[in-house]
Amino acid sequence: EIKAEDIERYKSYLLGERKLKPKSINNYLCVLSRCLKTAWEWDMLDELPKIKLLKVPPQAYDFLTESETEKLLQCSNGILYDMILLAVRTGLRFGELIALRWDDINISEATLTVHRNIVRGIEGSPKNNKSRTIPLTPSVLKMLLEKKLVYKYIFHDDYGNPLKYKFCREMLHEACLLAGLRSISWHVLRHSFATHLGIRNTSILAIQELLGHSDIKTTRRYTHVTLP
């Protein structure tokens, strides 16, 4: 019974009463579109309603310079230092970072392999359902060798469970404040990893592979520099 008019009213409700941003609304609409298309494929709908996505302004991307990265590391310690170091040297998504296990690390080859991702407490496969292997820098390898192997997750709470985003976000914001930096999200460290590689003239294809992007256009947005 859902018609195009109903969808337009739904968009108005999300914009007005819910005060959501166009990008968030488009995410809702994509889920709705998938549901309706499935219903149509199953002959539960005679006609597939058209869904028009909202126009979204270009997304602003932030990253830390090399000197800002060092400031942040200097003002961090313990598990926060370890997480920031690994994130900014590997480009892992936050969900991949907290899902990382010791059996994902190959010490002899100095690599880690991304096998899983945790989003809203639910563990699943990485984004795009693709595993990828990332080389480890000497500083990251040294950090991992010095950590105690107690639970299966590398970064965990007192009971061995994966860390929560809110807790990690607050820790990161406190470190930014101590370092005299703007508050950043964990995703900014992923942007920073890509940008630092771009500055060193790393191939765009190599950066795409390390980040696990399916579309090279996304990689170009992440790097903030002109790449070969």
Spatial separation of the C-alpha atoms in residues 196 and 81, rounded to whole Å = 19
Is residue 196 part of the annotated active site? The answer reads no
Is residue 190 part of the annotated active site? The answer reads yes
The catalytic position among 101, 116, 127, 169 is: 127
Residue 156 parent element (H or E)? none
In single-letter form, the type of residue at position 108 comes to S
The catalytic position among 11, 93, 196, 220 is: 93
Is residue 116 part of the annotated active site? The answer reads no
Dihedral of the CA atoms 181, 182, 187, 189 (nearest 10)? -20
Q: Please state whether 155 falls in left (phi above 0), alpha (psi between -120 and 50) or beta.
A: beta
CB 32 within 8 A of CB 53: no
Tokens of 228: 């070969």
Tokens of 137: 């820098």
What are 112's strand-pairing partners?
105, 134
The catalytic position among 11, 191, 220, 222 is: 222
Q: Report DSSP state, residue 65.
A: -
The catalytic position among 190, 191, 196, 220 is: 190
Is residue 213 part of the annotated active site? The answer reads yes
The catalytic position among 89, 196, 213, 220 is: 213
The catalytic position among 132, 169, 173, 187 is: 187
Active site residues: 93, 127, 187, 190, 213, 222
